């Protein structure tokens, strides 16, 4: 380094120096990617280029140059993937995902998590894949719950292939809650049934009682009291005594058109102890119509 460049670097802030270092690493990466028939270099050196791109991303992160940092991570992902280092490629996408958070731009989080999870799985690391999917889902959950749903489902499928059915059920249960939040009740009914099947396969009935109660509420919100009764009859053994009592009051109240009994079940302490999305759902369910005792039934 000549004296002029030395003094120039010395007068720079840390952010400015790291930003300059980052661009130096980018230039080195581009050199590794160059091919030349004259130099008998017929293929890019993807691995070396990816290492330089990763170094560039680290420098840009210190410099808080988020745009260049994310671009470097994405290019490093391509480099590692082309060199066969799929785990490291997935790691680059994971880093890019969290840079998106720093940019306050979550529009690509679902895509990055899906691609990163697939790379991790292809690299033989389903645990890393599931963790990435869940981290991304939690980022999206507050502002974009509808986008987080698919990530939780993918996490469930990922650990399910490893015979971790209880963990798979927990991720699916979280997806169900978000489906209710965004009022996708038909989809939630299917997913709740899947959740109960997973808990059943895992042999953990105690954890499933709340899911049975939630499933009954979803079926009633769908306007299908017959299906709600079927849930109670099929999965009722998973509930504890308080959950079973509330479920019986609710289903019987709707079957017998007994508004007071249905209301008592929906307002019970055990229903109020469910996740807030289900508590709100219980409040929104339209109570069954009830004829006055002195009214005559019109059969015409």
pLDDT tens, 102-146? 999 999 999 999 999 999 999 999 999 999 999 999 999 999 999
Q: How far is CA 216 from the centre of its chain?
A: 24
- Whether the pLDDT of residue 14 is over 90: the answer is no
Position 206 pLDDT exceeds 80: no
The Cα 76–Cα 178 span in angstroms is 34
Which pLDDT does position 162 carry in this prediction?
83
Percentage with pLDDT > 90 across the chain: 83
Stated as kind and residue range, the H or E segment containing 173 is helix 165-181
Mean pLDDT over residues 243-253, rounded?
97
Is residue 297's pLDDT more than 50? Answer: no
Mean pLDDT computed over 86-94: 97
Contact between residue 94 and residue 132 where contact means Cβ atoms under 8 Å apart:
yes
Q: Are 240 and 211 in contact (CB under 8 A)?
A: no
Average pLDDT of span 243-257:
96
Q: Is the pLDDT reported for residue 71 higher than 60?
A: yes
- DSSP state letter for 34: -
In this predicted structure, what is the pLDDT of residue 3? 54
| Distance in angstroms (rounded) separating the CA atoms of residues 249 and 282 | 13
Give the dihedral sign, CA 246/249/254/259.
Answer: negative
Listed in sequence order, the residues at least 6 apart from 93 whose beta carbon sits closer than 8 Å to its beta carbon are 73, 74, 77, 112, 113, 115, 116, 119
Nearest to 63 by CA among 6, 13, 8: 13
Instruction: Using the predicted structure, report yes or no on whether residue 294 has a pLDDT greater than 70.
Output: no
Q: Is the pLDDT of residue 21 over 60?
A: yes
Residue 230 has pLDDT above 60, yes or no: yes
Q: What's the rounded Cα separation, in Å, for the pair 268 and 246?
A: 7
- Model confidence at 296, pLDDT cuts 50, 70, 90, reads very low
List pLDDT tens digits, range 23-64.
Answer: 999 999 999 999 877 666 678 999 999 999 999 999 999 999
- Residue 168 reports pLDDT greater than 80: yes
**What does CATH list as the number for 163-289?**
1.25.40.10
């Amino acid at each position: 380094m000549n004296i002029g460049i030395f003094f120039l670097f010395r007068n720079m802030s840390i952010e400015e120096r790291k930003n300059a270092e980052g661009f130096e690493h980018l230039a080195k990466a581009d050199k590794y990617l160059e091919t030349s028939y004259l130099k008998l270099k017929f293929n890019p050196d993807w691995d070396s280029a990816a290492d330089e791109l990763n170094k560039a991303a680290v420098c840009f992160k210190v410099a808080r140059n988020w745009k260049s940092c994310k671009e470097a991570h994405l290019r490093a992902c391509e480099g590692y993937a082309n060199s066969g280092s799929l785990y490291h490629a997935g790691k680059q996408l994971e880093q890019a995902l969290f840079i998106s958070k720093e940019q306050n731009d979550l529009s690509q989080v679902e895509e990055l998590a899906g691609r990163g999870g697939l790379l991790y799985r292809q690299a033989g690391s389903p645990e890393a894949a599931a963790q990435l999917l869940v981290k991304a889902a939690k980022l999206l959950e507050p502002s974009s719950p509808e986008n987080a749903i698919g990530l939780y489902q993918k996490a469930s499928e990922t650990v399910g292939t490893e015979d971790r059915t209880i963990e798979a059920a927990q991720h699916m249960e979280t997806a169900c809650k978000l489906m209710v939040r965004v009022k996708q009740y038909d989809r939630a009914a299917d997913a709740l049934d899947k959740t109960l099947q997973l808990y059943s396969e895992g042999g953990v009935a105690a954890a499933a009682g709340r899911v049975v109660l939630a499933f009954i509420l979803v079926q009633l919100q769908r306007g299908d009291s017959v299906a709600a009764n079927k849930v109670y009859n099929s999965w009722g053994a998973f509930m504890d005594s308080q959950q079973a009592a509330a479920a019986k009051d609710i289903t019987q109240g709707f079957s017998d058109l007994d508004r007071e009994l249905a209301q008592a079940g929906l307002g019970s302490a055990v229903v109020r102890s469910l996740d807030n999305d289900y508590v709100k759902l219980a409040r929104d369910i339209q109570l069954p119509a009830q004829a006055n005792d002195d009214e005559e039934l019109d059969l015409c």
